[in-house]
Structures are given as structure tokens and as C-alpha cells.
Structure 1
Amino acid sequence: MLQNMTEGAPLKLIIPFMVPLLIGNVFQQLYNIADIIIVGRTIGVNALAAVGAVSPLFMLTMVLTIGLSNGFTVVTGQRYGAQDMQGMRRSIATCVVLSLFFVLLIMGIMHLVIDPMLVMMNIPPELMEDAYAYVMIIVDGLLAMMAYNLLSGIMRSLGDSKTPLYFLIISSIVNIILALVFIICFGWGVPGSAFALVIAQAFSAVLCVIYIYKRFPQLHIHRSDFNLDWPELWAHLRMGLPMAVQFSVLGLGIIILQSVCNKFGSDQIAGFTTAMRVEQLALQPMISFGIAMAVFTAQNFGARRFDRIRDAVRRCSLLTLAFSLFAAVVVFAFGEEVIGIFLDNPSPTVMQAAHL
């Protein structure tokens, strides 16, 4: 259901909107986490290390698609807040064109740089084959990832954060089932988990298309909506590119850390991979508040309600600080228990590396 966020108490709008978003972000993280758990428990430490050694590349491509799609759809939310339905449809058409351009660009660049990048990341020789296969399947499936993130971003920009969550939960279950089937029944190993992930993401994108087509005729775009010009493109680029850069800074930092960690062998890689997954889950409340605030701000900016924006920023900043302190306490107190989820009988070396 679409929601107008330009009227009513800001926190009473933002928190109910943020909760499905938080659950959805956790489930999106579970795509990669489920692969790591299944691979680690069914194949072994080396397979987990192979996936973990290149998982920062997966995370980088994922946050790029999330940043671009959420940035582009800020304009969509602004026009919805201003009740400019024609401009909103034109914005959706622009989002589709730009998203397709950038995902193809990212895929092309990754194909060109993947070999030197894996060398730069110090992937151990015994892990190279599985690591290369995993990351290339993910790269070739980026179109599915971008499609889901864009379509869910459009729905969120119009105030609907629940429907993308439902589809993400379904696709996460599909991912787990397919990964188990591909690895255990078909014996595909590490590539099987990557194929399962891409198919599940494509499935969630298809569900979004069907839902939008059946439930929201006001979102249907026509050929005339693709009559784009530079001002229209720039309005979206100046939102999408900074958000993509902001999201990718953390991903680049993790790649550097992973490159150093990869020098120390499979046990250290497995431990570091596990610890990073725990950290990323702990960060999700703060990330979800940020995306929720982007939607709230976009709609109220379009409606010229700047007083509501200032009030919401102040309140959400305090809540985010409280969540940060809570997450730090939980991870410190229960870190070892959470780490034990990822591996069956982890060695003391793996556990020590993850805990530190």
C-alpha cells in the first residue's frame, strides 16, 4: 500500500516504515550469509574460505546497486510527495534507463578487472577456482540484483516498505532451498550456491513486476515517459551517484581488509568472513533508518515541508545512536555464540580469528 508521509507525526510514520525495511535488509544480507552457512557446514572450511575471500566483491556490487537504485528513486518520492503523477512516471522511466546503463557498465568493468583484482586480493591458490567461479556467477547475475533493488526502491519511495519485504522473505527461502539442492543433491559445490542466489534474486524481481502491474496502474510507464533529456537525467544522477559512492566506501574498505587477511590461510579467512557477517547484521538498523529517512525527506521535500525534515533528522539521529550502543553491547556479549552458527565444530584458530 502506498503511503503519503507528508502528514502526521514523523516518528509514527518513520518507525513503522523502517521496521519492514530493517527486516528486508537483514534478509538481503542473509542471501550471502545463508550461502556461507550452507557452504561452511556442507562442504567445509576451504569452501567457506573461498566464498568469504571474494564476498567483499559481492558486497561491493550489492551496495552499488542499492545505492544507485535508492538514490535514483529519491526523485520519484519527491514527485509523489508533490502529487506530480506524470513527473513520477517519467522519473520511473529514467530510473529504469539509468539502472540498466550502470548495471551493464559495472558488469563490463568487473569482467575486465576480475583477474588482476583476485590477484591483488591475495586469494590463496587452493581457493582460486571456487572463488573465481562464485564471483563471476554473481557478476553475471547483477541484472537480477539491480532489478529487485530498483523495483523495491520505487515501492519504498512511495511509502510501501512491506511488499518488498514479503517478496524478499520468499526469495530468501527459495535461495536456501536451491542452495541445498544444488550443493547436496546435484553436487555443484560453491558454484551451486552462487546459482541459487542469482535465481532467487531474479524470482524476487519477477514478483515485484507482477505486483506493480496488477496493483498500481498509476505506476505503469508508457513510451512517452522515456522522452528523456539531460536535466531529467541529471536530477537522478545527482542523487544516485553520491549515494552509490557513500555505500561503496565501506565495501572498498572491506576489500582492502580482506586482501590482507587472505595472506594468512583458510582458517583466518573463514574467521574474518564470519566476523564481517556478524558486523554487517549489527549495522542494519542504522542503514535502515538512513533509507527510511531518505524516503521521508524526499516526499516532504517535494511537498516543501522542510520543518518536518529537520524534526525527523533530529529524532532519528538520537534513535540511531541508541541502536548503535545496543548493537555494540549485544555483539560484545554474545559474539562467540553467533560465530558458532556459521561452522560445524569450528577450530580454535577460526574461533579466535573471528572473535578478535
Structure 2
Amino acid sequence: MEIFMRIYSVALPILASSLVGLIALFINMGFIGQDNAFNLYIMGILLPISFIVMSLNESLRVSSIAFASQASGDKKFNLFNDRLVTLILVSLAMYVLLNVLFYLIQQPFLSMYKVEPQHQLFIGKFILHNLMVGVLAAVSMLCMSSLYGLGYAHSVSIISILSFAFNVALTYVFVFHLKYGIYSIIYSTLISSTIVLAIALIWLKNIGAISYFKVSSSAVQKAVIKIRNISLPVLAGYGVMFMHVLVFNKLLAMFGPNDIAGFSVSHRLQNIALMPAIATGIAIAIHVNRLRSNNAADLSPSYIKTGVLSSFAIYFLISFVIFTFRESLIGLITSDADVIAAASKYLYYIGPTYFILGPLLVLLIFFEQTGKGVRSLIFNMLSFGLQLGVAFYVAYKYQSLDLVYTIIAAGYLITLFYIFYELRRSRQYYGSNQTQTI
């Protein structure tokens, strides 16, 4: 019970701040949409770039939490300082590269989406400005995520929730009172991210986690290697996810636009439903990284087992709720009867498998956070490849969407054996107490 409480004392604050962040995003979208429906069109154009930005941010965030959780155990804050500064430099370099790349390709990019010539200049500038301000949000996220790993989950979550509320309030003022339109999102992000970054840096300085920002070239090189080993597989994993959605949409196109729309709606619900698994995986990894740095890796299997098995209980309830109330939940997103029917069909088959998909995601997130992202990446590539390969064969041969969803669901059921294999393997791997730190 003590291990259970330790895991969820970290997981729940992470989940709370993630949910509030998602809600804040929806509210801000609502504000700019009410101001001018054309703003939502611009945000739609921004969507693929936002996915790339999110992938980069999340891949670096994994490294920041991993480095911080190790430092909370071994107290090697000089090493953590070098790694965090290097992470910030890498983030800055990536955003500079993104800005330059978009500046060079903005004309063909906007033309590809058939943006009318009279709107291209405005939309192009907005995307560039959004990327420029995004670097502040990225750096503040890295610093705040580090505080999660250092053991300040509750306090960080409170600050994150307050910052999201402040961001929403700023957006409201900029949209409806100052009449800044879609740029309201950029201004509110600029102000709130600057404040959060200042708080995080002062906090890290006061607890002795950072001491200086000058790092030797040799320290940067070592840190870059560690970041590459942790973050690159995570980034590649996002690429696999993107390709999975792209290919699955192609498959659904064989059956009709309503099925694509239904999958889009149900996929958004699925992402929300899987947020507890992500938070739990991060929480287990924080504890395990801390144990490894304290030469107590043999205690890790207890945390892994408790976290994964407890997630089975949590996702039994989530699966039941989604399966039972799927039409009502879908109705919160769309009122179109045909789309509701298509999304409901998807959740009828896939919803019950969240009982397995949730614990599986806990394990995969844990791998990413403990330097085993390649293991997670290989599993995703193999499982998605096999599922989609069989699903395409069935779709072409039998022309049955019900059979396609059955194949996808069966694929998740089979992964149950993989989960228990990894639980058994963790006892052998960490039980030797000879595992290396990150």
C-alpha cells in the first residue's frame, strides 16, 4: 500500500496539470473561434506543425524528468546542471531550425493546403511568431518538468494549474477587450511562459539544483549523448504514432468519410482516457530512477508491479465507462448522428481493450523514462505494423469494417502476454541490483 501511495502521489498531480492544460487549450480555442471562425481555420493549418513541436517538446521533457529524478537520488546537482543547460540549448537550437525551415518552405506549405493568396502572408507570419514564442513555453516546460523529477510534484502541479488559469484569463482579455484576435494566444503564451520560467529558475536555484549556466564543451558533448539516447527513440515513437494514424485513416477511407470522422472523434476521447496511464508510467519511472541512483535498484520490481497491476484496476473502470456511455461521451464532441454512430462502432470494439491498452502504455512510458525508449519503439513498430497489415488484408478481402476493428482489438488482447512477460523480466533485470544509472 505504501508503494501504491508513493506512485500515485506523483501520478495524480501530473495527471491533474495535464488535464487542466488540455481544458485550457479547448477554452482558448473557443475564445478565438467566437471572435472569428476564420481563426479556427488558421489553427487547423497550424496543426501538423503543432504535432512536430509537441513531439520535440515531449521527447526533451522525458530527458529532463529522467535526469532530475536521478539527481534527486544521487544529489549530483553539478551533473544535473550541465544536463539541464544542454537540454535548454538543444531546445533553442531545434526552434531556430524550425523557424528557418518554415521560413524557407512556407510558400509551398501554405499552397499545399490551398490557402488563398490574400491570406498567405498573415498566416505565414502568425505561424512564424507562434514558433518564436514557443521556445519560451518549451524551456519553461523543461524547467518545471525537472521539478517534478526532483520531488516537488504537488507544488509544481499547483503552479501549472494556476498558470493555465492565468493564460486563459489573459487570452480572454486580449480577445474580447483588447481585440488582438488570433494573436491573443501568442501574447498570453509569451507572458505566462515568461512568468513560469522565472519561477522555475528561481526555484531550481534556491534548492541548489542549478548553480550556473556556463557549461564546458566536454560536458555538453556528454549530455547530448545522454539526451540522444533517451529523447531520440521517444521522438521516433511519435513519428510511428503519426504514421499509424495516417495509414489507419487511409484504411478507413475505403469505407467512407463518416468512419474517418468517427475515428477522429473517438481517437480524441482515447487520448484523454489514456492520460492516467502516461502519468502513472512517468511516476513509476521517477521512483525507479531515484532507486537506481541510490544503489537500490532491487526495489524497483515492486514499484513496476504495483503501478502496472493497479492500472489494470483503474482501466477496468475506464473501459466499462467508455463502453457503456460511449454515445453520450461522443455527443459531447459532435451532434452529427452519422459521426456518432461511426465513433460508437469504433469504441464498441476498441473501448473494452483499454483494460489492456492502459497498463501497456504504463510500461511503454516507463521504458522511455528510464532510458529504454528503443525497446518501446521496437514494440510499437512491430505491433502497429502487424495490426495494420492484417487489418488491410481483411479490409480488402472482406470489405468489413467490423472485422477490421475486431482484428485491432484482438491485437491489443494478445499484448496482455507481453505485459506479464515484461513484469517477469523486470524482476530478473532489477533484482540483480547491477543496473546502471542514466
Instruction: Give the TM-score of the pair, scaled to structure 2.
Output: 0.64
The count of corresponding residues between Structure 1 and Structure 2 is 340
Q: Against the structure 1 CA distance between its residues 128 and 328, is the aligned structure 2 distance closer, same or farther, given a 3 Å change threshold?
A: farther
The equivalent residue for 2:22 is: 29
The equivalent residue for 1:228 is: 218
Q: Against the structure 1 CA distance between its residues 191 and 68, is the aligned structure 2 distance closer, same or farther, given a 3 Å change threshold?
A: same
Match of 2:241 among 246, 250, 254: 250
* 1:226 positional shift: 4.1
How far apart are the structure 2 equivalents of 1:126 and 1:332? 46
Does the 8 Å CA contact 1:31/1:172 hold for their aligned counterparts? yes
* 1:304 positional shift: 2.5
Does the 8 Å CA contact 1:51/1:131 hold for their aligned counterparts? no
The equivalent residue for 2:161 is: 169
| Cα shift readout 1:201-245 (whole Å, capped 9, x = no counterpart) | 3332233223334x42x1232256545343343123212222333
| Cα shift readout 1:60-98 (whole Å, capped 9, x = no counterpart) | 312321221222441342243123233333333333333
Q: Name the SS of the counterpart of 2:218 in structure 1.
A: coil
Deviates more, 1:124-133 or 1:139-148: 124-133
Does 1:239 find its partner at 2:208? no
Q: Name the SS of the counterpart of 2:100 in structure 1.
A: helix
Does 1:284 find its partner at 2:269? no
How far apart are the structure 1 equivalents of 2:325 and 2:103? 40
Does the 8 Å CA contact 1:300/1:309 hold for their aligned counterparts? yes
Structure 2 portions without partners, runs of 5+: 253-257, 346-438
The equivalent residue for 1:3 is: none
**Of the two structures, which has the highest relative contact order with CA contacts closer than 8 Å and spacing of 6 or more?**
1
Does the 8 Å CA contact 2:72/2:290 hold for their aligned counterparts? yes
* 1:354 positional shift: 6.8
Q: Name the SS of the counterpart of 1:228 in structure 2.
A: helix
Q: Determine what percentage of the aligned residue pairs are the same residue.
A: 18
* 1:118 positional shift: 5.2
How far apart are the structure 2 equivalents of 1:195 and 1:273? 30
* 1:11 positional shift: 2.4
Structure 1 portions without partners, runs of 5+: 1-7, 262-266
The equivalent residue for 2:399 is: none
Q: Against the structure 1 CA distance between its residues 282 and 119, is the aligned structure 2 distance closer, same or farther, given a 3 Å change threshold?
A: farther
Instruction: Give the TM-score of the pair, scaled to structure 1.
Output: 0.77
Q: Against the structure 1 CA distance between its residues 312 and 123, is the aligned structure 2 distance closer, same or farther, given a 3 Å change threshold?
A: farther
Match of 1:295 among 270, 273, 286: 286
The equivalent residue for 2:59 is: 67
How far apart are the structure 2 equivalents of 1:125 and 1:95? 39
Does the 8 Å CA contact 2:170/2:188 hold for their aligned counterparts? yes
